Each structure stands twice: as C-alpha cells, then as structure tokens.
Structure 1
Amino acid sequence: MKEKIVQFIEENKIIAICRGIYGQNLVDLVSALYEGGVKLVEVTFDQGNKDCIKKTSEAIKLLNSTFNGEVKIGAGTVVTLEQVFAAKSAGAEYILSPNVNKEVVQAANQLDMVTIPGAMTPTEILEAHFAGADFVKLFPAGTLGLTYAKDLLGPINNVKFIATAGVTPDNLGEFLKLGFSGAGISSYLTSKNLVNEKKFDILKEHAEELVAISKRI
C-alpha cells in the first residue's frame, strides 16, 4: 500500500495544503481542486489550536468519506507521536512535517504511512533520509531558491524531494526540472479569502494551471 502512495505522489506531483479550512468549505474546496486535476490534499494540524487533533481528524475522515480514495488525503504539520496516531486513525495515508523528528518518521513508517519530513540543510535532509523518510520536504523552498536547490541535488541525488512554501506557477516547472518529485502548495490553491468568498471557480483554474505545468515536465 505504501508503495502505491509513493507512486501516486510521484505521478500527481501537486499537494494542496489546506490550513484552517473545515466542514463544507473544505469539501467544496477539495471538489474544485479535484475538478482541476489536483488529487493530493494535505490537512494540517493547527498547532495553535488546542482542538487541532479533533478538528484535523474530523476533516480527514470527512474528505475520505466524500472522495472515496479518488483524492489521497495526508496530514500536515505532524510534529508529535499523538498526531501521528491520530492521523492514522483518521485515515491519512501520508504525513508531512515542518521538521525532522526521527520518532515521528519511524512511528509513521511502522503504521505504513508515507513520510515527508521538512528539512532545510544537507545535515537535516540526510538525517531525514536515513531515518526512513520516503520524501524530504525542502522547506521553505521558495525562500531558499532554485540555486540552493540545484546545489543540494548535486551531491544529494539519492533523495526524493518535495518543494514546499513559496512554490508558484512561475517556479514550479523549474523545481520539477531540477528533479523534484512534487510540490506542496498552499495559498495559490487554498486561499482562505477565495474560499470564504466561495470563489471556487478561481481555485479550480489555479489547479488546472499547476497541473498543466507539472505535466509538461
């Protein structure tokens, strides 16, 4: 099963990061993204919300029941073992983190979830890789830039990378051309303002644009 999710991520490339969006708004958003071709959605744990485990778990369950496997749902900002277990219980098939925590990576691996910890430096990237990460999330990719990413991929060419934070239509193609497996994208696909204004048609168009770029590489 885990190998299938790895392959699904490599084939579909675009992970939409949903942060602080719940209920019908989340369903409508993911429906629009799916219509636009995006089939990977990350629902984050909001670390500043004391009810984040309950809210994120409910959101993952809702999306799984609504999309029945057509959209692969992951949990984001997973930083504790409790969140790993909650993500698994809710039906998440992969987890993403902003940092490298060996215990989190190994626990998720044991639960047969794909692991995507976040890292910035070569030391962190290789620590994640040797801990058993399936992908390493270069974070924040947009701030670090394409030159930094290219320099990393010279010596560290045995790691599968996901570019996250600051990835846009202007640089997505360049990250993929460098050899990145995919990208995590938030505001361009999941803008709270557009969601609250029910402008899901715009977000569908954004999804179509990013998917088209990913298919050209």
Structure 2
Amino acid sequence: MKQDVLNQLVKEKLIFIFKTQRIGDEDLLRAVQAVVDGGGRFIELTYDQPSGTACCHALPLLKEHFGGKIILGTGTILDEDEAQKAIDAGTEYIVAPNLSREVCSLCREKDLMYMPGVFTGTECVNAWKWGADILKLFPGCEISLDYAETLMGVVNVLPYFAVCKMDETMFEDCLNIGYVGAGISRAVNSRELIEQGRFDEIEKRTRKFVEIAEKHEQKGGRS
C-alpha cells in the first residue's frame, strides 16, 4: 500500500494540512470538501499532543464521509505510541517533524508510507537506511532553497518534500529545484477563512496550487 500512496503523492505533489484541535467537525468536513472540490486529494491531520484525541476522532470521521476521494494521513507524529494510535484510527500514511527509527519500523511493518522530518545529511541517510519512503526537509523553505538544493544533489537517496510557510511562488520554486511536492496549510486552510465560513475561497486557493502542480507535471519536472 505504501508504494501506491507514494506514487500517487509524487504525481499529485500536494498535501493539505489541517490542525484538528482547532476546528469542529462540521467546519472540518466543509473545509476538506472545499479542498476536494478544488482538486486536492491528500489530506493530513496534525496529531494533537499529548493525547491525540481530536486527530483520532477526525480520522474515521473523514474516511467515512469521503472514502476514496481522499488519501488521509497524520502529521506531527513524534514517536511509536502516537503512530500506533493514528494507525488504529485509520491513518493511511505518517508524517513527522523528526526522524524515529521505531516509527520507521512500525510503518514498514504496517506497509504505510513514512515521511520523517530531516535536516542534515546524516538524518537523510539514516532515514533511507531505516526504510523511510520520502524525506520531509523541515523547515523546508526557511533554511533557504540553496541549502535544500545542495542537500538534494549530494544526498540523493529518497524523494524530498517541502513543508514550511508555503505560498504559490514558493511552491513553484520548490518544484523547480527538485522537491517532489509540498505541504500546504495556512496558504489555503487558514483559521480565519474557516471561522468566517469562506469555503469558496479555500476551494479557489486549492485550485491554484493544483494548477501549478499539474503544469509542472506536464513539463516533466524541473523547469
């Protein structure tokens, strides 16, 4: 299953991220629907430490409502215990800000895509050796695109994914230097838009990112 998810992510190039502890069920369903209407498919729910209650509640809620229209994952997973709770709740992939050998092993056992957070060449190589599937260079843009491009060129072991303060211009820049995709949060799913019920704007912003991804795919990668 994890290879299918990874292949689809490399094609789609986008994960839309929601902080479940900040949003009620009805608003979450409407916001995710707006993302789907805008062409998005990958949804990530952030794990709310320490209990994960909001996330583990929202995972089955979204899966029951959207089914195969979305590929649903969990982010901000720090350790094996959190990963297991998310898996039990139905997550389809795991994203983290850190690298954990235990989480990597668990995801391999469960055949789930694991995207650990890395920053150095050593972390990238260890993630590769331990069986991770894709590398979340974190923070992916604030460190500078030059650093990211150099690291990707020297430690070319797995695909790299950007997660940072992402806007449309930065997304294009990331794709052009070799990232296979990016996580989108506030640029689309801002707390203000959700609280104001501006779900049409969420759909509109999603569509802009999807169009950039599709254009890049049609060009065959780097510009």
Range into which the TM-score falls when normalised by the shorter chain: over 0.9
Contact 2:118 2:124 in 1 (8 A): yes
TM-score after normalising by structure 2? 0.92
The alpha carbon displacement at 1:86 in A equals 1.3
Q: Counterpart in 1 of 2:168?
A: 169
Q: Counterpart in 2 of 1:203?
A: 202
Whole-angstrom distance in 2 between the partners of 1:154 and 1:123: 14
**Secondary structure of 2:88's aligned partner:** helix
Q: Counterpart in 2 of 1:130?
A: 129
**Secondary structure of 1:100's aligned partner:** coil
Whole-angstrom distance in 1 between the partners of 2:24 and 2:91: 16
Q: Counterpart in 1 of 2:71?
A: 72
Residue 38 (structure 2) pairs with residue 36 (structure 1): yes
Q: Counterpart in 1 of 2:14?
A: 14
Contact 1:18 1:42 in 2 (8 A): yes
Superposed counterparts of 1:1-217, under 5 Å: 1-19=1-19, 20=21, 21-47=23-49, 50=50, 52-217=51-216
TM-score after normalising by structure 1? 0.95
> How many residues are aligned here?
214
Contact 1:100 1:128 in 2 (8 A): yes
Whole-angstrom distance in 1 between the partners of 2:86 and 2:41: 18
Whole-angstrom distance in 1 between the partners of 2:147 and 2:48: 29
Paired-residue identity, %:
31
Residue 73 to residue 22, structure 1, CA distance change in 2 (3 Å): farther
The alpha carbon displacement at 1:188 in A equals 0.8
The alpha carbon displacement at 1:24 in A equals 1.0
Whole-angstrom distance in 2 between the partners of 1:191 and 1:112: 32
**Secondary structure of 1:134's aligned partner:** coil
Contact 1:44 1:75 in 2 (8 A): yes
**Secondary structure of 1:137's aligned partner:** strand
Whole-angstrom distance in 1 between the partners of 2:139 and 2:52: 24
What is the CA RMSD across the aligned residues, in angstroms?
1.2
Off by >6 Å, runs of 4+ in structure 1: none
Contact 1:32 1:201 in 2 (8 A): yes
Where structure 1 has 5 or more consecutive residues not aligned to the other structure, the ranges are none
